[in-house]
Every structure is written in structure tokens, then in C-alpha cells.
Copies of this chain bind each other. A is one copy, B any other.
């Protein structure tokens, strides 16, 4: 059942390790089959070295486990909430990658200072508000998803493929699980460079808008000319 998706999600979880985005078990990746409305996600707290494709957990959009012997990631309700609200996305990656997490902890959005950022994110990387005590007690992970969606009221998840959860860490997404992990990696690099750019020039201004638009368009716009036609 969903063998191809399970393989994709399994490999995307291992890519978190390959790209050095996780420490121990701090992260998880999921993917969704939009046809069957089923989500595949990493089991909770399992070490990446011991992870197998058969450990992946399959759930429906109500959070009911359809297949799998292990508990799903404790962040599963956040993933499901995002899949429900962002119909164009096919995969989600959550990590505590250090520099993105530093911005999340410091409660700072990541300003767009360069074309590397513009290639991946159209404008600032947004930050959610903190959840209230009531929201945490009620359903922490579900309400984390809702806080992300609230922050995206005026943002497009297709051009802004990720978010910083205040005090916590990043979530990124993409057209599939592998793509979500690549956006997680890009976010980490962007955060690293933004922090040090501010160190070098604390009054640094944003990248001029015509450069932001140009770089985003040449990779993602209707007339994009970056990469190979057949691979896009």
C-alpha cells in the first residue's frame, strides 16, 4: 500500500541526515497522496540509523492510523493541518536545523538579504506567534498547525515554502517529501548567511525588490529558465 510514497518519505527522512539537518531524532518528514487522502510519516523517536521503509506510518486526514506498527511522529497533527489548508503541497519537513532554529528561538523573521534567499523564498521567511497556554493545553501540535495557517493568511505557500514556529523550529514544504527537505536545507543556509550578514552589517537593508523578483522568477516563474526543461 502506497509503496512508492513510503519509499519517497523514507528517503526524504534519510536526506535530513545526509544534509546534516538533524541531531539524534529531532526531525520528521511526511508526504501525502492527494488521490487517496493518506499521509505517510516517520515514526516518533526512532533513530535514523535504524529506520526502515516499513517503519513509515500511514494515516488518514482525521489522524487515524491506517497502516504501521509504530506511533507516528508526535508532530503529526501539525503536518495534517498543513496538508488540509495548503492543497498544493505534497510533502512537509520538520527539523531543528541549527540556524533556522536560532531565528525561531530569537523570534526573528529572516529578512531577504541576497539572491540565494530569493531563489528559494519570495521575501522574508515568516514567523508564527507563540501559542497561548490554553492552545498548548488543548492540543499543542494541532494548534501549531493553526498558528502557521494564521500567519499565511496573506502569504502564498507556493512562493514561501516554509515557516519558523516561534520558540521552536522550522517547518518547510514542497511538491513532495524530497522537495520539502531541499527547502529545509535552503532555509538553513539562508538563516546562516542572514545571521552573519547582520553581524557584518547590523543596518543591512533588504535586497532591492527588482533583484528579488528576478531571481525568484528565473527559477520559479512561468518563464523560468533555470535548470533543464525535462527535469522541471
Number of copies of this chain that the complex holds: 4
A1 contacts B by Cβ under 8 Å: no
Shortest C-beta distance, A59 to chain B (Å), equals 15
Contact A167 B98 (CB under 8 A): no
Residue from the set A99, A197, A198 with the largest chain B CB neighbour count within 10 Å: A197
Residue of B nearest to A26 (CB): B116
Given the complex, which residues of B lie within 8 Å of A229, measured CB to CB?
71
Q: Give chain B nearest CB distance to A32 CB in angstroms.
A: 23
Please report which residues of chain A, range 123-140, place their CB below 8 angstroms from some CB of chain B when the two chains form the complex: 130-133, 136-137, 140
A229 to chain B, nearest CB (A): 7
The residue in A116, A130, A229 that gathers the most chain B C-beta atoms within 10 A of its C-beta is A116
- Is the C-beta of A220 less than 8 angstroms from some C-beta in chain B? no
Measured CB to CB, the closest approach of chain B to A199, in angstroms, equals: 7
The segment from A4-12, A152-160, A206-214 found at the interface with B is A206-214
Q: Are A106 and B116 in contact (CB under 8 A)?
A: no
Judged by a CB distance under 8 angstroms, whether A63 is at the interface is no
User: How many whole Å from A226's CB to the nearest CB in chain B?
Assistant: 5
8 closest A-B pairs by CB: A45-B227, A105-B114, A106-B201, A106-B200, A133-B210, A105-B113, A115-B168, A106-B197
21 pairs of residues in contact across A and B, judged by CB atoms under 8 Å: A23-B185, A24-B186, A44-B228, A46-B227, A70-B228, A98-B189, A98-B196, A101-B116, A101-B193, A102-B196, A102-B197, A105-B193, A106-B197, A106-B200, A107-B201, A131-B211, A133-B210, A136-B214, A140-B218, A167-B207, A199-B199
